[in-house]
Amino acid sequence: MSINETEELILNMGPQHPSMHGLFRMVIHLEGETVTKIVPKIGYLHRGMEKLAESRTYAQFIPYTDRLDYLASPHNNWAYVQTVEKLMGVVVPERAEYLRVIFGELARIASHQVCIASTALDMAGWSAWSYAFRDRERICDMYEMTAGSRLTVNIMRIGGISAEPPAEFWPALQSFLDDTPEMLEEYYGIFFGNEIAQGRLKNVGILSKELAENLSITGPVLRASGVNYDVRKAEPYSIYDRFDFNVPVRNGCDSYDRTIIRMDEIVESIKIIKQALRDIPEGPIMAKVPKVIKPPVGEVYHRVENPKGELGFYIVSDGTTKPARVRIRPATFINLQMLPIVALGWKIQDVVAIFATLDAVLGEVDK
Amino acid sequence: MENNEKFKLQVTELATRVNGEVEESFGVLVLKVNAPYIIETLTAAKQFADGPCDFLHDLCGMDLVDHFEVVYQLTSLRGSQSLRVKAIVNRENPVVDSVTRIWQGANYLEREAFDMFGIIFKGHPNLKRIYMWDDFEGYPLRKDYVTEPIELRNITRTRIEGE
C-alpha cells in the first residue's frame, strides 16, 4: 500500500472502557479520525428482568426494579408500585405520596449530579467530577437514614412507602436545600463555564426536533431539542398537579444543552421539594393492602418521568399472584438509538461527548 | 380529554375499516387488529384529525400461548391522547410488518421483540438479536421456553482419562 492510500480503521470501545458508563461496547469505523459508522453492542448486563418477573410475586419484584436505573432507584420502584396500585385500585395515603415526591426528586437531583460529573470526567475534568459527587453523598446519606441503603434504596412498597424518615432526616434535607444554589454555582464555575468544556460540547452532536420525535426520544434529551414535554405536566401522576414548577426547555439541540438542562431541572426539583415540605400532612404511610397481592385480570400501562427519560411499565395480570407479563420500557435503551445517527461525521472524542450527554445507565439499557 | 367522544369515534371508525376490535382498559382504548393490517392502522392513527397519536412510546411482544401479540403504545407530545394497538400474530408463522418506516425509533424495540419472542419484522433494516448473543438458541420470553433448573447451571465437566 502506498503512503497516500488510506484504509478504514475499526476501533472497539468498551465494554470496559473508562468513558463507557457501564458495560457498553461500540464498534467505531473510522476514516482517519472521523467516524463513518457506529455499531453499538449491548446486552453485557442483560439479566432477563422481564422473565424473572414472571416467576415472582408482585411484591417480590420491587427490589429488582432498583437494579434498572441504579442511579435513581426510588424512581424505578415508584413507577412499578404505581402500576400495580393502578391495577389493584389502591389509594395511597397523602403523607406517603408527599414522601414519594420528596424521595423521587432527591433521586432526580442525585442522578443529574452523576450525569454532570461523569460528563465532566469524560471531558477529562477530574476536579469537576469530585464536586458533584461530594454533594451527591449527602443525598445518599439521607437515603441511608431512612431506608438503610445508599444506592439500591428499595423504599417504595405497594400501597405506600417502607419507612418514616427519622428525626435527623429533616434538618439534613433542609441544609441540603439551602446549599444547592451555591452547589449549582460551583458546577457552573468549574464545568459549564469552562472554555474547554464549552468548546468540546457546544454545537457537537446536533439532534433535531424532528429526528428526536421520530426516534421516540424522551426526557432531558428531548427537552434539550426544543420539545416542551414532561409527563409530570402532560399527564400528572401521583400528586404532581399540586406543585408549581416549570419544565426547562432548551433549543440548542447540542451536547452542551443536553447537559446543562439538567442544572435547570435540579432547580425545579428543589422548588418541588420545598413545596412538598411546606404542605406535607401527618398521617399513615401505608394503605391497607391485602397480604397476598392478587390483582384482578387486566392490563395496565403506566409511565413516569425518570431523570433520564420516561420509564414505563406494562403489566398484564391473569388473576394469580404472579404477573403474566411485565414489560419494562427503558428510557435510555430507546434514547441510545440516536448515537449511531447523530455521531456520524464527528471525531472519536466527540462520540465520547455525545454518549456522555445521553446519560445512559447500562442497568436500564440492558434490563 | 375534552373531545374524548370524538377520539373514540375515530378509533371505532378505524376499527371497522381494518376489521379490528375496540376495548377499553383503565381509560385507554385498545385496538386489536390482525397482523396484515398493522401498517394501515398505525398510519391512520398517526394522522387522526382529532388528537393524532404520532409518538411511538413503546413496542413489545407478548405470548398468549395460542398466539403472539405485538403491542404498540401510542401517545402524542402535543396532547394527552393515547391508544394501544395490538397486532395479533400467528404463532406458527410469526411475521408482522416492520414499522421502522413510520418511526425510526422502532428499530431497537423490534429487534428486542425478535430476540425475546422470535417475531419476524418484515422490512426491518437490521433484524438481529440485541440482548442475547447471535448463536443463542430459543426465544427466552416465550411461555414454552424451558429455563434450565438451578442445579444444572454450574455443570462441572467430568475429567476424561488422559486429559
- B126 lies in which domain range? 4-152
Burial of A149 (0-12, 13-18, 19+ CB in 10 A): middle
Angle subtended by helix axes A348-358 and A255-279, to nearest 10: 20
Which one is predicted more confidently, B45 or A22? Answer: B45
CA distance A242 to A236: 9
Is B159 inside any structural domain?
no
CA distance A125 to A115: 13
CA distance B69 to B72: 10
Is B162 inside any structural domain?
no
pLDDT at A349: 86
pLDDT at A106: 92
Is B161 inside any structural domain?
no
User: CB count, 10 Å around CB of A48?
Assistant: 16
Q: At residue B153, does pLDDT exceed 60? A: no
Chain A residue with CA closest to B78: the answer is A229
Q: Which of A91, A92, A59 is nearest to A161 (CA)?
A: A92
Looking up residue B47, the CATH number of its domain turns out to be 3.30.460.80
What are the grid coordinates assigned to B156, written together? 462441572
**End-to-end alpha carbon distance in chain A:** 46
The answer to whether the CB of A100 falls within 8 A of the CB of A294 is: no
CA distance B10 to A19: 49
Cell 451536547 belongs to residue:
A255
- Beta carbons of B57 and A303 less than 8 Å apart: yes
Asked if omega into A15 is within 30° of 0 (cis), the reply is yes
Burial of A298 (0-12, 13-18, 19+ CB in 10 A): middle
CA distance A216 to A269: 24
In the chain, the amino acid numbered A234 is A
Q: Which of A59, A63, A156, A62 is nearest to A107 (CA)?
A: A156
Is B125 inside any structural domain?
yes
Number of domains into which chain B is organized: 1
CA distance A56 to A198: 48
B 9-48 near A (Cβ less than 8 A): 25-26, 28
Is B157 inside any structural domain?
no
Is B23 inside any structural domain?
yes
User: CB count, 10 Å around CB of B126?
Assistant: 11
Q: What is the ipTM of this complex?
A: 0.85
A327 touches chain B (CB under 8 A): yes
What are the grid coordinates assigned to B43, written together? 398510519
Average pLDDT, chain B: 83
Divide the 367 residues of chain A into consecutive groups of 10 and give the mean pLDDT of each group.
74 79 86 88 87 88 89 90 90 91 92 90 84 90 89 88 90 91 89 86 88 90 90 87 90 89 91 91 88 87 90 90 90 89 89 87 86
The set of residues, in sequence order, having a beta carbon less than 8 Å from that of A267 and lying 6+ positions away, is A184, A248
- Beta carbons of B105 and A300 less than 8 Å apart: no
pLDDT at A191: 87
pLDDT digits over B70-119, tens only?
A: 999 988 888 888 889 999 998 888 999 999 888 988 999 999 999 999 89
CA distance B71 to B106: 12
Q: At residue B152, does pLDDT exceed 80? A: no
In the chain, the amino acid numbered A181 is P
- Beta carbons of A303 and B104 less than 8 Å apart: no
pLDDT at B149: 64
User: CB count, 10 Å around CB of A283?
Assistant: 10
Numbers of helices and strands, H then E, in chain B = 3, 7
Reduced to 3 states (helix: H, G, I; strand: E, B; else coil), residue A223 is helix
Is B92 inside any structural domain?
yes
pLDDT at A70: 87
Is B55 inside any structural domain?
yes
Q: At residue B161, does pLDDT exceed 80? A: no
Domain annotation for chain A: domains and CATH numbers: 48-366 (1.10.645.10)
- Sign of the torsion formed by the C-alpha atoms of A339, A340, A341 and A347: positive
pLDDT at A171: 92
Residue A192 DSSP class: I
Cell 454532570 belongs to residue:
A116
- Beta carbons of A367 and B56 less than 8 Å apart: no
Residue in B55, B60, B80 nearest the CB of A327: B60
- H/E stretch holding B70: strand B67-75
pLDDT at A272: 92
Chain B residue with CA closest to A235: the answer is B80
B95 touches chain A (CB under 8 A): no
Mutate to test the interface with B, among A82, A210, A240, A299 (most CBs of B within 10 A): A299
CA distance A27 to A37: 8
pLDDT digits over A63-99, tens only?
A: 999 888 888 889 899 999 999 998 888 889 999 999 9
Q: Distance of alpha carbon A140 from its chain centroid, rounded?
A: 16
